[in-house]
Amino acid sequence: MPATTPQPRTTARTLAVIGGAVAGFLAVGLLIAGGVVLWVNSKKDHAGYISTASEPFATNAYAMTSGDIDAKLDAPGWIVNRDHYGKVRLKVSPHGGKPVFVGVAPTRDVEAYLGRSAHETVSDISYSPFSASYSYHEGKRRPALPTTQRFWVASAHGAGTQTVTWNVKRGSWSIVVMNADGSAVVDTAISAGARLPFLAALGWGSVGGGLLLLAVAGGLIFVGAPRRVRARSTALEAQPTGA
């Protein structure tokens, strides 16, 4: 009666091959993600910002807001400083003669400030071609002058293009764009940029993790492969060059 391989050993080899395939799949994903992050990081301008083109944003209401920006990125401390995620740069150019205002503030303060005034929140943005969708919030009261409010953590106002640079910290924030005199009908072009110091570490960390998983995948598949396949692979590696 011919000898047979014990079932537990066959099962272990099968599990090793399956584990190697899963590890290989994850490794490819990490390598692709790391490559994309490093590619994005390479597109920085001379000031270190990754920026969008200047696109049109307009409303017939008193203000436009970004809605709630929830800055709560959970990542290891060696990748992200939780008290300083990076910098955001906003360039706002008014269409027409009205001076413009742009500011960043805690979301709760913005909601209280604009709660009784008609305003719109940008709900979606599409590119190629560019279009922005808004959610309208009703209100009849004209807001107080934005320049008199004390809750802004970063702001700029005046005629011509206004630039705001904001150090992003943990919390809930909103960006507001309106006319400096608080009047309705806001018509602008906006460019947004970000300087994220953790992108390089994140990208290389993903690439390194992918390479490590790829090595693990190769080891598991080798261990799980049939003995004849492993023996042939070892013999090929040991064969002298040119033999």
- Dihedral Cα 219, 224, 225, 228, nearest 10 deg: 110
- Looking at per-residue pLDDT, the higher value among 217 and 58 belongs to 58
- pLDDT of the residue at 86: 75
* Confidence grade of residue 130 (pLDDT, cut at 50, 70, 90): confident
Q: What is the CA radius of gyration of the chain?
A: 28
DSSP per position, 141-179? SPPPPGGG-S--SEEEEESS-EEEEEEE-SEEEEEEEEE
Measured CA to CA, the distance from residue 44 to residue 168 in angstroms comes to: 18
Helical H runs in the chain?
Answer: 7-41, 107-114, 199-224, 227-238
Mean pLDDT estimate for the chain: 78
